[in-house]
Amino acid sequence: MFLCQACHARISTPTAQLGLPELQLGLIPGFGGTQRLPRLVGISKALEMMLTSKPVKGEEAHDLGLVDAIVSPDQLVSTARKWVLDILERRRPWVASLHKTDKLEPLGEAREILKFARAQVRKQAPNLKHPLVCIDVVEEGIASGGRSGLWKEAESFQGLLQSDTCKSLVHVFFAQRGTSKVPGVTDRGLMPRRVTKVAVIGGGLMGSGIATALILSGYPVILKEVNDKFLQAGIGRVRANLQSRVKKGKMTQEKFEKTVSLLKGVLDYENFRDVDMVIEAVIEKVSLKQQIFADLEKYCPQHCILASNTSTIDLNLIGEKTKSHDRIIGAHFFSPAHVMPLLEIVRTNQTSPQAIVDLLEVGKRIKKTPVVVGNCTGFAVNRVFFPYTQAALLLVERGADVYQIDRVISKFGMPMGPFRLVDLVGFGVAIATGTQFVVNFPERTYKSMLIPLMQEDGRAGNNLLLGL
């Protein structure tokens, strides 16, 4: 993008993606990107594109003035050649994008736009410096000219390159790409098998979110509950998840109806005879999960993947009453499951590489970032997360205020504090998962009674489905 912005014209295909995604890496666009984009599309749009790191498609880029002509891929090179000759021979204007000013908003208006952008950035990411640096650099170019902006851009870029934010975000970038390569699994040439129907057991907070994520990506889903009341409540939650997309204008009513029609509610296992994957999301109780997996083995076809959304329980324990250890796997989603991108795929020593490859593919199709981890109490995320929650509980029992702890943590940069989170997750789940740690690591867990006492007092948190 930098290079083509510095050219005299740009030709694109209708679907090419054009953007400056550097802020995602803790940097600002270099090589004049911060200076030329505002001059090509205006300050507002340029800031939006840079600050959100979101690309635009060729067609939109054409409407914005970033691209001068749209052609089909097979016409791209020949059209570009013709434009080069036209520009060279002055049949088309010789435009130096760094000196263009016609798209720049007048200085007064520009300052208002920059002020608004700064306020937005401070609100959305108060701990991040580089978006503000980006706005400063854009401002320099507007106030003192493109060349001056280029100097400031180069200097700021060098500074940011050394920042911890940049190093961490670059690490995240490569780590996210690395998640799809699992040695001994994805390098065996295995092809993911077709998954045409998925069953979800439990229509509570997690089950309804998982079912939503699946139907949103076109998977027909059977949702099983214990009785009609809970089933209707579960289906209601899925509908509400989709309805909120309609309200936000992200989904048409027609698409809503089509998506909902992929969901079928059931109360028994009769419809499980042709499912390719089951994701169990009932409460965190070992005996209940063991019984469910024993039942699944009886009703589901031999090839069916048997996944659990358990937060903490050792999968070997869940599968103890079955002979299907090679197809038992963890599919650990995070709440709200239809929104949060992480999917922890838990494999035991016996889980087959094929089952992992299949779940990786489903994860990708439902637009998650699947991360394959080993099996143990708490897996990777909760194993890290639990000591953090415990430390917060310890502080409260030593006299600290819950709201103060949450405030400090939010200020540090977490989206919310540990107590707000436990409220959202639901005390039933928090207690059940906490118990797993206390039972499995008694010598290094702190047993707090705070949450159990609150629940006993009827203060249940936001997820009111607990204990069902």
Ligand X SMILES: NC(=O)c1ccc[n+]([C@@H]2O[C@H](COP(=O)([O-])OP(=O)(O)OC[C@H]3O[C@@H](n4cnc5c(N)ncnc54)[C@H](O)[C@@H]3O)[C@@H](O)[C@H]2O)c1
- Residues serving a catalytic function are 332
Tokens of 329: 């796997």
Q: Shortest Cβ distance from residue 262 to ligand X (Å)?
A: 19
CA distances from 26 to 22, 53, 414 (A): 7, 11, 17
- Encoded one letter per residue, x for contact with ligand X by CB under 6 A and - for no contact, window 165-204 reads ------------------------------------xxxx
Residue reference for tokens 């999301």: 281
Work out the angle at residue 355's Cα, subtended by the Cα atoms of residues 353 and 360, and round it to the nearest 5 degrees.
Answer: 95
Distance of CA 264 to the CA centre of its chain: 26
Q: Quick one: 309 or 389, whose CB is closer to ligand X?
A: 309
Q: Shortest Cβ distance from residue 240 to ligand X (Å)?
A: 14
Single out the residue of 8, 3, 14, 6 nearest to residue 91, CA to CA.
Answer: 8
Q: Shortest Cβ distance from residue 336 to ligand X (Å)?
A: 8
Query: Using CB under 6 A, which of 137, 214, 282, 300 touches ligand X?
Result: 282
Single out the residue of 428, 432, 425 nearest to residue 287, CA to CA.
Answer: 432
- How far apart (Å, rounded) are the C-alpha atoms in residues 212 and 238? 6
Tokens of 256: 């809503």
Q: Quick one: 11 or 331, whose CB is closer to ligand X?
A: 331
Q: Quick one: 5 or 348, whose CB is closer to ligand X?
A: 348
Query: Using CB under 6 A, which of 216, 242, 393, 429 touches ligand X?
Result: 429
Q: Quick one: 49 or 300, whose CB is closer to ligand X?
A: 300
> Residue 363, interface with ligand X (CB under 6 A)?
no
Q: Shortest Cβ distance from residue 356 to ligand X (Å)?
A: 19
Q: Quick one: 380 or 400, whose CB is closer to ligand X?
A: 380
Q: Shortest Cβ distance from residue 212 to ligand X (Å)?
A: 12
Distance of CA 342 to the CA centre of its chain: 6
Query: Using CB under 6 A, which of 335, 352, 410, 435 touches ligand X?
Result: 335
- Encoded one letter per residue, x for contact with ligand X by CB under 6 A and - for no contact, window 217-236 reads -------xxx---x------
Q: Which stretch binds ligand X (CB under 6 A): 114-122, 333-341, 345-353, 355-363?
A: 333-341
Task: Kindly determine how many residues on this chain lie close enough to bind ligand X according to the rule CB under 6 A.
Answer: 32
The number of residues making up the chain comes to 468
Strands 342-347 and 17-18, sheet pairing: unpaired
Residue reference for tokens 């799809």: 180
Residue reference for tokens 């970032």: 369
SS3 164: helix
Query: Using CB under 6 A, which of 153, 433, 434, 461 touches ligand X?
Result: 433
Query: Using CB under 6 A, which of 182, 216, 235, 281 touches ligand X?
Result: 281
Q: Shortest Cβ distance from residue 286 to ligand X (Å)?
A: 10
> Residue 206, interface with ligand X (CB under 6 A)?
yes
Q: Quick one: 134 or 346, whose CB is closer to ligand X?
A: 346
Contact criterion met (CB below 8 Å) for 87 and 9: yes
> Residue 463, interface with ligand X (CB under 6 A)?
yes
The overall longest dimension of the chain from CA atoms, in Å, is: 83
Q: Shortest Cβ distance from residue 127 to ligand X (Å)?
A: 25
Single out the residue of 385, 164, 198, 335 nearest to residue 279, CA to CA.
Answer: 198
Q: Shortest Cβ distance from residue 241 to ligand X (Å)?
A: 13
Residue reference for tokens 């001994």: 184
> Residue 309, interface with ligand X (CB under 6 A)?
yes
Q: Is the dihedral of CA 52, 54, 59, 61 positive or negative?
A: positive
User: How many C-beta atoms surround the C-beta of residue 401 within 10 A?
Assistant: 11
Work out the angle at residue 21's Cα, subtended by the Cα atoms of residues 16 and 23, and round it to the nearest 5 degrees.
Answer: 170
DSSP structure class, residue 188: S
Strands 56-57 and 69-70, sheet pairing: unpaired
Query: Using CB under 6 A, which of 160, 205, 221, 275 touches ligand X?
Result: 205
Query: Using CB under 6 A, which of 311, 348, 351, 455 touches ligand X?
Result: 311
Instruction: Give the binding site for ligand X (CB under 6 A).
Output: 201-207, 224-226, 230, 281-284, 288, 292, 309-311, 333-335, 425-426, 428-429, 433, 463, 465-466, 468
